[in-house]
């Protein structure tokens, strides 16, 4: 399976989503190639907003992926190495096209400036995006057979999405967007103008703290669910310790919530990933 398409997918993932790329290092062989292709597809889709000037070209790119997955203009699609790698994986591991199409549909929200309304909406968005990736990665490790990893994928996906958006809060708000649940900010007396003006307040700190606590709770629930999974499936969830450390560092961060989030060097993350994977055997 280590064709040029998979080599290109690995390079694209390494450049576009460093943490998910590092998480594939605990895998081996064809399964690693397959999960890498899945994650590279997601990295391309997740970056669409940053590559376009308005929603229209973003919609075009999303539709291109829809056509690729549904089989429209199949030959032309195969000239894109990430798409070629993904389509090979969907064929080899019986990945449901509907699941990938729901991920693409959820990503349409990224293209617009509407705030994320509330926590249930955010959890639904995270479920169709981050949680879906964990579920499909576990399916690949299960050789394409269906499995019940919903609780592990669901909780870790929501935690992953919350932590990611907490870490990117300053960058995303500078774009005029609020991707974290708006209802939490409103309940703490924060208005949109304050966020877009990068105004720090007790209400803002309290809102971000509450979201951090929700993320921590999902991590705890994910740990319990992962522990109940067959050993061969657990590497699909290897990012859990990296996410936990990122949340800890974010909570210890005393600078502005609009500033860049602290992070660990790659070698520390790799150590965490390998140690966690070894302990789970």
Helix (H), strand (E), coil (C) string for the chain: CCCHHHHHHHHHHHHHCHHHHHHHHHCCHHHHHHHHHHHHHHHHHHCHHHHCCCHHHHHHHHHHHHHHHHCCCHHHHCCCHHHHHHHHHHHHCCCCHHHHHHHHHHHHHHHCCCCCCCHHHHHHHHHHHHHHHHHHHHHHHCCCCCCCCHHHHHHHHHHHHHHHHHHCHHHHHHCCCCCCCHHHHHHCCCCHHHHHCCCCCHHHHHHHHHHHHHHHHHHHHHHHHHHCCCHHHHHHHCCHHHHHHHHHHHHHCCCCCCCCCCCCCHHHHHHHHHHHHHHCC
Joined together, the tokens standing for residue 201 give 């307040």
Q: Residues 104, 65: contact at Cβ < 8 Å?
A: yes
Query: Residue 174: which residues within 8 A CB-CB, separation 6 or more?
Result: 198, 258
Q: What is the pTM of this model?
A: 0.95
First to last CA, the chain: 26
pLDDT of residue 135: 95
pLDDT of residue 281: 59
**280: pLDDT strictly greater than 70:** no
pLDDT averaged over every residue in the chain: 93
Reference 234, options 92, 20, 23, 14; nearest CA is 23
pLDDT grade, residue 254 (50/70/90)? confident
- Segment 265-274, tens digit of pLDDT: 999 999 999 9
**2: pLDDT strictly greater than 60:** no
pLDDT over 90 percentage in the chain: 88
pLDDT of residue 167: 96
- Segment 130-169, tens digit of pLDDT: 999 999 999 999 998 888 878 999 999 999 999 999 999 9
Of 43-47, 112-116, 143-147, the poorest mean pLDDT is in: 143-147
pLDDT of residue 180: 98
**28: pLDDT strictly greater than 50:** yes
**1: pLDDT strictly greater than 50:** no
pLDDT grade, residue 75 (50/70/90)? low
Please give the Cα distance from 211 to 190 (Å, whole number): 14
Count CB-CB contacts under 10 A for residue 266.
13
pLDDT of residue 163: 98
- Segment 85-98, tens digit of pLDDT: 999 999 999 999 99
**221: pLDDT strictly greater than 90:** yes
Q: What is the mean pLDDT of residues 204-217?
A: 97
pLDDT grade, residue 74 (50/70/90)? low
């Amino acid at each position: 399976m280590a064709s040029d398409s998979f080599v290109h997918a690995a390079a694209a993932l390494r450049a576009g989503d460093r943490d998910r790329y590092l998480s594939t290092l605990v895998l081996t062989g064809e399964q690693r190639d397959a999960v890498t292709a899945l994650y590279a597809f997601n990295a391309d889709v997740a970056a669409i907003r940053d590559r376009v000037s308005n929603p229209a070209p973003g919609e075009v790119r999303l539709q291109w992926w829809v056509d690729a997955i549904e089989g429209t203009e199949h030959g032309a699609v195969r000239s894109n190495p990430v798409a070629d790698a993904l389509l090979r994986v969907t064929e080899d591991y019986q990945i449901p096209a509907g699941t990938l199409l729901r991920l693409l549909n959820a990503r349409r929200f990224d293209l617009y400036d509407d705030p994320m309304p509330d926590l249930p909406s955010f959890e639904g968005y995270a479920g169709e995006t981050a949680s879906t990736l964990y579920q499909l990665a576990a399916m690949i490790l299960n050789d394409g057979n269906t499995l019940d990893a919903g609780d592990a994928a669901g909780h870790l996906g929501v935690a992953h999405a919350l932590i990611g958006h907490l870490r990117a809060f300053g960058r995303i708000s500078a774009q005029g967007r609020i991707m974290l649940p708006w209802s939490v900010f409103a309940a703490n007396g924060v208005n949109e103008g304050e966020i877009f003006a990068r105004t720090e307040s007790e209400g803002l700190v309290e809102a971000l703290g509450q979201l951090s606590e929700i993320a921590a709770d999902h991590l705890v629930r994910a740990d319990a669910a992962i522990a109940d999974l067959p050993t061969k499936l657990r590497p699909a969830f290897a990012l859990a310790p990296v996410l936990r450390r990122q949340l800890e560092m974010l909570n210890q961060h005393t600078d502005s919530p609009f500033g860049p989030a602290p992070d660990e060097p790659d070698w520390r993350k790799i150590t965490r990933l390998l140690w966690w994977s070894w302990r789970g055997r």
